[in-house]
Amino acid sequence: MKVVTPVQMRKIDSYTIESIGIPGIVLMENAAIRMTDEILKDYGSVINKNIVLFAGKGNNGGDAFAVARHLCNKGANTVVFLLAEKKDIAGDARINLDILESMGIETVEVLESGKLNDVEARLEKAELVVDGIFGTGLKGGIKGFKADIIRLINQKNVPVIAVDIPSGVDGETGAIEGECIKAYKTVTFGFPKFGHYLHPGCEFAGELVVADISIPDSAAQNFDIKSYVIDGETVSKLIPKRTGNSNKGDYGRVLVITGSTGMTGAGCLAGTASLRSGTGLLYLGVPKTLSFIYECKLTEAVTIPLEDENKGFLTRACVPELLGHMEKMDAVAIGPGLSSKEGVRDVVLSVVENCNVPWW
């Protein structure tokens, strides 16, 4: 999955709106629907639940306005605290604010710390907070009454779900200067941003959900995006599909040469990783006196007890047998937990010099 900077995301949004022709209000509506879906996934019914939404004056605030409408339609008791003057709200966000007011959904301006008591009173009864104060383009620390409100939200034991990114996180660097929303979940739109993955921002984002808001793939292809995150979808494309008339012998034989007294865990981890990556047959070449440990730990692996002269680590004496087994393998791994005992170096050199299959 592509990972973008806030600047790249703005360019993708602009291209989608101006060149492809999908109106910004449609993207905002899709974002609000996806946010609402995530809330319903976590909470089930929101009928009569008290949900407090915080909105800034930008498009994040517009998303929050639209989310408030959807939650109200689902039966929630919603109140929106707008941390800006209503007259300053413009564009698509203004459309959604006007809809809220037409529906009679309570929207309260908060422009100074003097209104913190009103905010705190609502938070005391809240079962969920939606953070739509700042977006991914934030630079520098949050100050003044907005910082006071974020501090107050964090002090309350109320779950927070963030729109796009927790308010206070730099969307490009993950940096946090001052107060920052601590979310249990963040729903971002189109593509994840660097700030979602970089420390300390990642610690404040909670579970990250990347929501599809109908931005076409072609929109991103017009920009030089070179950064990716490895996810389940990416990995699944690399693993060949298994046919119904195959068996485990058709999916590769891997030999992991591993083990010494006190360090058997490393080989178990390496073996488990090999199996999870799709290995059909896993063999563990281990010191003979320790083989019972691996047989108990890894049910699917075939253990090959190698000569260790009762020392608890591999010795030169195991090399002939080891080389014979290597000839039957498709790949070899050597190293996990072998130790640096005398004789182990000779085993490693023998493998390196004689292995005719991929090894690492």
Residue 255: burial class (beta carbons within 10 Å; 0-12, 13-18, 19+): buried
Whether residue 59 is annotated as binding a ligand: the answer is: yes
Helix (H, G, I), strand (E, B) or coil at 353: helix
Helix (H, G, I), strand (E, B) or coil at 169: strand
Check whether 248 is labelled as a binding-site residue: no
Query: Is 136 annotated as a binding-site member?
Result: yes
Residue 148 among known ligand-binding residues: no
Q: Is residue 24 a known part of a binding site?
A: no
**152 labelled as ligand-binding?**
no
**167 annotated as belonging to a binding site for a ligand:** yes
Question: Residue 77 in contact with residue 51, Cβ under 8 Å?
Answer: yes
Q: Binding site annotation covers 258?
A: no
Q: Residue 63, annotated ligand binder? A: yes
Is 310 marked within a binding site?
Answer: no
Q: Annotated binding residue at 206?
A: no
d(CA 323, CA 336): 18
Q: Specify the pairing of strand 281-287 against strand 302-306.
A: parallel
Q: Which two tokens mark 149?
A: 């409100």
Show the DSSP H helices in the chain as ranges: 6-15, 24-43, 59-73, 91-103, 116-125, 144-155, 194-197, 201-205, 217-221, 232-238, 264-276, 291-297, 319-326, 344-354
Distance (Å, rounded) from C-alpha 39 to C-alpha 76? 11
What's the alpha-carbon Rg for the chain, to the nearest Å? 28
Question: How far apart are alpha carbons 282 and 206 in whole angstroms?
Answer: 36
Does 62 show up as a binding residue in the annotation? yes
- Give me the residue label for tokens 């000779």: 346
Residue 132, marked binder? no
CA 175/CA 242 separation, integer angstroms: 44
Q: Which positions make up the binding site for (6S)-NADPHX?
A: 59-63, 135-141, 164
Q: Which positions make up the binding site?
A: 59-63, 131, 135-141, 164, 167
Q: Which positions make up the binding site for K(+)?
A: 60, 131, 167
